[in-house]
Structure 1
């Protein structure tokens, strides 16, 4: 059975004069499907930072290990690898339906949101009910045309969201209307990064 991982690759510039753009481009060349053992579902360059994030589906962990080993051979990188599962499976666990599945994300106006959820002052049942409303809204928004891919961190109350929003101001508007913010906002922590498709970034660099 395949498993999904969130791979976060950060460059640590240890020497002066490093061509950071070229180095990240070399890293991009290594974040590829490995035989039939790994499939890259998403891969992005964090805008303005020497960082790559990828969602990788793994049929055999050795393929993932070889990919990570190739990254380390370039040197000056830090890699973290976090197990995930599809948000659709989590929504099914919450008995939210109908389930809609993500289509391809557009190439422009992309953002990566990290949600870290607590529930101080709420019972677990109350928190689960709020999250049920949240999952329903997320999947309904996608069904209505919002390009978004979501992944939950295994055994943690954390969610990674990749979405396309042409107007950045709409992100705040969307956030304030989320059930998880309306009913539990004091316990919600969100990080937001602008991102680019990694292959698009690499093509621009080598062009």
Structure 2
């Protein structure tokens, strides 16, 4: 059996004129149904994020077409790699790289994007630091923290979804990550607040 493929659909509602954003969110939510692994509304923006795990990527293309047919939507598709698979590739202990929990129970979820530059580092140094980062993140998740992780396919970028009580809790957690400790000047974080659909 083939490994599942992972994708993030970013669905932006066009607002060039008077638009019923809430109505459009309901339309997209109805189309997504239970096909998306996770689906969220971005707080304060006319934007929806949907994470997919599929055997056949055509399913995601079909979903994109269905959404675009329903109105003024701009859809972007990002190919993802399960973080556990990436962790295996870079040599993280297999005890940490089992199936992800795929569990986010809180109504508010924080999405964080981590973009990492490797200027001035050898490839080995960079990958060793990422191995430390992955080991730390997967170990913390093993303590019960609701955390889902993905690597953007073909890029030095990771995406995480985390249930925390406040952005401050996220900030505390970030202080102990190897990317922050060792590469603070080459590591860029972006935090987005989401609500579940």
Same fold (TM over 0.5): yes
* 8 Å Cα contact 1:86/1:152 also seen in 2: yes
Secondary structure of 1:4's counterpart equals strand
Q: How does 1:18-37 map to 2 (within 5 A)?
A: 18-33=19-34
Match of 1:111 in 2: 110
Match of 1:203 in 2: none
* Cα displacement string for residues 95-145 of structure 1 (whole angstroms, at most 9, x for unaligned residues): 112224224111333100011111112111111111111000100001011
Match of 1:6 in 2: 8
Distance 2:87 2:28 in 1: 34
Match of 2:58 in 1: 62
TM-score normalised over the length of structure 1: 0.88
Size of the aligned set, in residue pairs, is 192
Which has more helix, going by share of residues? 1
Secondary structure of 2:76's counterpart equals strand
TM-score normalised over the length of structure 2: 0.92
Question: Cα offset for 1:19?
Answer: 1.6
Match of 1:50 in 2: 46
Distance 1:62 1:136 in 2: 33
Q: 2:163 aligned with 1:167, yes or no?
A: no
> Over the residues paired in the alignment, what is the CA RMSD in angstroms?
1.4
Match of 1:179 in 2: 178
* Cα displacement string for residues 146-167 of structure 1 (whole angstroms, at most 9, x for unaligned residues): 1000010111111110000113
Match of 2:69 in 1: 73
Gaps of at least 5 residues in structure 1 are 34-38, 199-207
Gaps of at least 5 residues in structure 2 are none
Moved over 3 A (4+): none
